[in-house]
Amino acid sequence: MHDPRQLLDPDVDAAAKLRRRGYVLDTDHLGKLVSRRSSVIGEGDQARAESKKAAAEVGAAAKRGEDVTALRERARELKNRISRLEEEQREVEAELNEFLLGIPNLPLDEIPDGATEEFAEEVRRVGTPPEFGFEPLDHVDLGERAGFLDLTRATKLSGPRFAVFKGAGSRLQRALAQFFLDIHTGEHGYTEFSLPSLVTRQTMTGTGQLPKFEEDLFRTGVAERELFLIPTAEVPLVNLHAGEILPLEDLPLRYTAHTPCFRSEAGSYGKDTRGLIRQHEFSKVELVQFVEEERSREALDEILAHAEAPLQRLGLPYRVIKLAAGDTGFSAQITFDIEVWLPSQGTYREISSASDTGVFQARRANIRGKGKDGKRAQIATLNASGLPIGRTLVAVLENNQQADGSIRIPEALVPYTRFEVINPDGSTS
C-alpha cells in the first residue's frame, strides 16, 4: 500500500515517476480522498470530545437535581453523529485503499525509460553460446523423440499448456530442483519452506497480484470459501510475516521454496505455445529476502548473484539485463532479468527475474520492523527465481544436445541424476 502523503509530495513527484511506466496518477482524485478522510477524522475527534463533555454535564446536572432531558438529548445526538462519521470514515478509507491498491510501485531513477524489452539495458553476458556442426533441435523434438516428454497426453488430460514427463525427464526435473535447493540452502543461507499452493485473496493482495492481475490467476473454492492457486512461491513466502513486526536484529531473512506455480497467461495465446516456455502449470525454486529499507539495493545485487549461481554451475550461457520502467512488474521498483541462451531460437530468453520491491509489498502486507532499542524501520522485500525447473530443463537439453540426438548432462548435475547421458531412445548411461 502506498503512503498517500508520499504520492502527493511535490518533492517525490510520484506522478512523473509513474508516467515512466505508463501509469497516469489522478492526483486530484487522490487529494480529494485524502482531504475528505482528514476532514471526517477531524470531525469525529471533535464530536467525541463534545460527547465526553456532554456526558460529564449530564452527570453533574443530575447530581444537582436539575432537569437533564435536554442534555441527554444533546448527548444522544452526538452519539448518533459519531456513529455516522465513523461509517463515513470507513467508506472513505475503503475507497482510498481501493484506489491505492491499483497504483504500481514507483520505479527507481536508475532504470531506463521505455515500455518494452527492446529498451532494456544489457548489464553483462556470461559464457559463450555453443556452436553445433548440425542444425540444433528444440527441446520438444529432443524430448518427444527420446520419449521422456509427452505433450499430446498432457493435452488429453488438461488441455493445452501442460506437460507430462516420464523416465529420464522426470528424474531430470527432480534433480534440478534438488540441485537448486542445495545451492541456496547450503551456500547462500536460505531457509527452505514447504508451503500451501492455495492462498486467500488477502494473501494475493499483500504481494500485489490482486486486484490488478485477477484475470491471470486460477481461482477455486468450496462453498463460500475462495482460494487462489499461487503463481509463484513469492506470494506465500512474503506473506508468512503479514501483520507482523520483525526484529531488526534478525534481518536479513532469506527464504526459499520449491512449489508448483499456476498462471493462466491471459492474453498471451499464440505466443510461445509450443513446449515448456509458457505453461499453465510449472514448478520453480523461489528466493525471497526481507531487509531494512536502506539495504534493499545492496540486497538486490546479492539475490541476483544467487539466482545466477546455478546457471554458472550448469555451464549455461546467459545474459543479465535491467528492465525499462514500462516493462517492470507492478510490485517492483527495479528488476533485472536473467536470460539463458536457447540454440533452437538463436537468442536469449528469460529464465529468472530478480526484483527489489522496496517497501511496497511490506506496506500492503503490514510487515514492519523494530529493533531492541525501540527503533522502528521500514521493511523491504526482494524476490528472484532461483530457478524455474521447466525453462532450465529446456536450456540444459538444447545446449547439451549431440549430433546423434543424445543429451549430455552437465557435470554438476550428474550426482543428482546419477546418469551422464540421455540416449536418443530415452535410456540413460
Binding residue ranges for ATP: 263-265, 350-353
- CA-wise closest residue to 207 among 7, 362, 353, 367: 362
Element (H, E) at 44: helix 27-63
* Cβ(335)–Cβ(300) below 8 Å: no
* Burial of 224: CB neighbours in 10 Å, binned 0-12, 13-18, 19+: exposed
Q: Cis peptide leading into 387, omega within 30 of 0?
A: yes
State which amino acid sits at residue 187: E
The 3-class secondary structure across 350-395, one letter per residue, is EEEEEEECCCHHHHHCCCEEECCCCCEEEEEEEEEEEEEHHHHHHH
> Which residues lie across from 219 on neighbouring strands?
228
Distances (CA, A) of 32 to 41, 114, 298: 14, 31, 37
Phi, psi of 257 (to 5 degrees): -160, 145
- CA-wise closest residue to 234 among 163, 287, 284, 274: 287
State which amino acid sits at residue 121: E
Do β-strands 245-247 and 225-229 pair in parallel, antiparallel, or remain unpaired? Answer: unpaired
* Burial of 110: CB neighbours in 10 Å, binned 0-12, 13-18, 19+: exposed
Q: What would the DSSP string read from start to end of 308-332?
A: HHHHHHHT--EEEEEPPGGGS-TT-
* Residues recognised as catalytic: 263, 278, 350, 353, 391
Give Cβ neighbours of residue 276 (< 8 Å, ≥ 6 apart): 139, 140, 163, 282, 390, 391, 393, 394
* Burial of 360: CB neighbours in 10 Å, binned 0-12, 13-18, 19+: buried
Alpha carbon distance 295, 288 (integer Å): 14
CA 416 distance to own-chain centroid: 29
Alpha carbon distance 161, 188 (integer Å): 33
